[in-house]
């Protein structure tokens, strides 16, 4: 059986698309590896009417609300390959099954590159973050560290002055700051430490201090980092989509990519990486997919319009 749509990904983008497509009575399969970008986070901010919700609870509500739509199913399975055949797409799953669909929506998100520092893992999502829009307000007026091994940390540190005036940029013995960078930091009252970091110390996920390799410490309550990210899946590349210089999939109107029939929504495609934006993009893609399917069906039915 050829499905109308395979949605790869069940974060806010994929679940939102599935809801709209289910309401359009489309036969939809949502694939999910249960690897969500914000898995380390217990509290999601900035989602209208859901500020402060546990992100897993948001997904569970969305899955529950999909239950009445009997043409939509969600399966825990990894899509390992996708290719275009003549008029349909073929998606291969990790267990070897091959599925076919008329349109494909990739909502596979991104994977953050997390700095490899002893002690960081247990603090990630609790007092170590990457996004000021997600966690800046809760960190307001706190002593902040900004971690980056590249000069990108300068921009992040300056941006964070909206939330705190007590900021130290730490470059972990790697990034070379130019005179211009230093002048900019000084102008904004930001200090910097160039030494290598040995570990983070704290209790129950709460950062208390950074310990440098030479043994010196820096008392801090919150750390933001800038370390890059990569696509959550290789499917867009396999399908021949084009990418921005920063590694996001290029999409145009309604989240359509350069490949007809392939749509990409959520973090995988845009630079504003917020859950509510991902959900909105999923809805937009679903709208476009349904419109395109209707046109095809009308053409087949001999409707010349
Ligand atoms: C620590 C942290 C805190 C955050 N806090 C906030 C916040 O407070 N507010 C906010 O708005 N945003 C926050 N974000 C950002 C938010 O998590 C993302 O914007 C949002 O999750 C993007 O949704 P998405 O649907 O694009 O991707 P995701 O939620 O990452 O979902 C990706 C989906 O794709 C699936 N997948 C990937 N590859 C495959 C494959 N090959 N086969 C099958 N399935 C696949 C995954 O299993 C998953 O279901 C935070 C992010 C992090 C890391």
Which of 17, 36, 94 is the pocket-test mutation for ligand 1 (most atoms within 8 Å of CB)?
Answer: 36
CA distance 77 to 167: 43
Q: In which band, very low, low, confident or very high, does the pLDDT at 143 lie, cut at 50, 70 and 90? A: very high
Mean pLDDT of the 93-100 span: 98
Let me know if 17 is exposed, middle or buried by CB neighbors in 10 A (0-12, 13-18, 19+): buried
Q: Minimal CA–CA distance to 270: which of 283, 255, 289? A: 255
Q: In which band, very low, low, confident or very high, does the pLDDT at 1 lie, cut at 50, 70 and 90? A: confident
Q: Answer yes or no: is 305 within a domain.
A: no
Measured in Å, residue 110 CA sits from the centre of ligand 1 at: 7
The pLDDT, as a whole number, for residue 305 is 66
Residue 303 pLDDT more than 90? no
Q: In which band, very low, low, confident or very high, does the pLDDT at 119 lie, cut at 50, 70 and 90? A: very high
99 and 135 share one domain:
no
Domain's final residue, options 225, 241, 259: 225
CA distance 165 to 138: 14
Residue 134 pLDDT more than 90? yes
Measured in Å, residue 238 CA sits from the centre of ligand 1 at: 21
Mean pLDDT of the 2-11 span: 98
12 and 45 share one domain:
yes
**Which residues does a 6 A CB cutoff place in the pocket of ligand 1?**
8-14, 31-38, 40-41, 44-47, 78-79, 107-109, 112, 125, 131, 134, 232-233, 266-267, 273-276, 278
pLDDT tens by residue, 276-294:
999 999 999 999 999 999 9
Residue 7 Cα distances to 42, 102, 105, angstroms: 26, 11, 5
Q: Which residue has the CA at smallest separation from atom 26 of ligand 1?
A: 266
26 and 99 share one domain:
yes
Domains identified in the chain, total number: 2
Measured in Å, residue 54 CA sits from the centre of ligand 1 at: 13
Q: In which band, very low, low, confident or very high, does the pLDDT at 88 lie, cut at 50, 70 and 90? A: very high
Q: Strand, helix or coil at 222? A: strand
Rg of the chain over Cα atoms, rounded to whole angstroms, equals: 22
Domain's final residue, options 201, 225, 249: 225
Measured in Å, residue 224 CA sits from the centre of ligand 1 at: 18
Measured in Å, residue 36 CA sits from the centre of ligand 1 at: 5
Q: In which band, very low, low, confident or very high, does the pLDDT at 175 lie, cut at 50, 70 and 90? A: confident
Measured in Å, residue 61 CA sits from the centre of ligand 1 at: 16
Closest approach atom of ligand 1 to CA 112: 53
195 and 247 share one domain:
no
Measured in Å, residue 273 CA sits from the centre of ligand 1 at: 9
CA distance 160 to 142: 11
Q: Strand, helix or coil at 56? A: helix
CB 110 within 8 A of CB 232: yes
List the domain range (segments joined by +) for residue 161. 128-225
Q: In which band, very low, low, confident or very high, does the pLDDT at 271 lie, cut at 50, 70 and 90? A: confident
CA distance 257 to 278: 16
Which of 121, 126, 134, 248 is the pocket-test mutation for ligand 1 (most atoms within 8 Å of CB)?
Answer: 134
Q: Answer yes or no: is 119 within a domain.
A: no
Q: Strand, helix or coil at 49? A: coil
Provide the CA 238 distance to its chain's centre, in angstroms. 20
Domain's final residue, options 202, 225, 248: 225
Q: In which band, very low, low, confident or very high, does the pLDDT at 58 lie, cut at 50, 70 and 90? A: very high
Q: Minimal CA–CA distance to 150: which of 170, 125, 120, 131? A: 170
Specify which residues 99 forms β-bridges with. 91
CB 284 within 8 A of CB 278: no
Let me know if 241 is exposed, middle or buried by CB neighbors in 10 A (0-12, 13-18, 19+): buried
Reading the block at residue 214, the tokens are 């030479």
Residue 270 pLDDT more than 80? no
What does DSSP assign to residue 142?
S
213 and 252 share one domain:
no
60 and 102 share one domain:
yes
Closest approach atom of ligand 1 to CA 281: 26
Measured in Å, residue 87 CA sits from the centre of ligand 1 at: 30
pLDDT tens by residue, 243-263:
999 899 999 999 999 999 999
pLDDT tens by residue, 202-228:
999 999 999 999 999 999 999 999 999
Mean pLDDT of the 173-194 span: 95
pLDDT cut 90: percent of the chain above it:
96
The CATH number of whichever domain residue 166 belongs to comes to 3.50.50.60
């Amino acid at each position: 059986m050829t499905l109308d749509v395979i949605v790869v990904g069940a974060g806010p983008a994929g679940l939102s698309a599935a809801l709209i497509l289910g309401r359009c009575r489309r036969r939809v399969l949502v694939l999910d590896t249960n690897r969500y970008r914000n898995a380390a986070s217990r509290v999601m901010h900035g989602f209208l009417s859901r500020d402060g919700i546990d992100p897993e609870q948001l997904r569970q509500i969305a899955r529950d609300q999909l239950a009445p739509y009997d043409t939509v199913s969600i399966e825990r399975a990894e899509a390992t390959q996708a290719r275009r055949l003549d008029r349909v797409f073929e998606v291969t799953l990790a267990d070897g099954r091959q599925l076919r669909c008329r349109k494909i929506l990739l909502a596979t998100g991104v994977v953050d590159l997390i700095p490899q520092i002893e002690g960081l893992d247990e603090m990630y999502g609790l007092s170590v973050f990457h996004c000021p829009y997600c966690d800046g307000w809760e960190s307001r007026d706190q002593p902040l560290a900004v971690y980056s091994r590249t000069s990108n940390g300068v921009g992040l540190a300056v941006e964070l002055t909206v939330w705190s005036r007590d900021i130290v940029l730490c470059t972990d013995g790697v990034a070379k700051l130019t005179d211009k960078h230093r002048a900019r930091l000084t102008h904004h009252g930001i200090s910097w430490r160039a030494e290598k970091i040995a570990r983070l110390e704290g209790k129950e996920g709460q950062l208390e201090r950074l310990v440098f390799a030479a043994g010196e410490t820096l008392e801090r309550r919150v750390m933001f980092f800038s370390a890059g990210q990569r696509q959550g899946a290789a499917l867009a590349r396999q399908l021949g989509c084009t990418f921005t210089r920063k590694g996001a999939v290029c999409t145009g109107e309604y989240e359509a990519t350069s490949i007809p029939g392939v749509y990409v929504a959520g973090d995988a495609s845009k630079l504003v990486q917020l859950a509510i934006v991902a959900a909105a993009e999923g809805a937009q893609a679903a709208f476009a997919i349904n419109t395109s399917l209707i046109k095809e069906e009308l053409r087949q039915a001999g409707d010349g319009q």
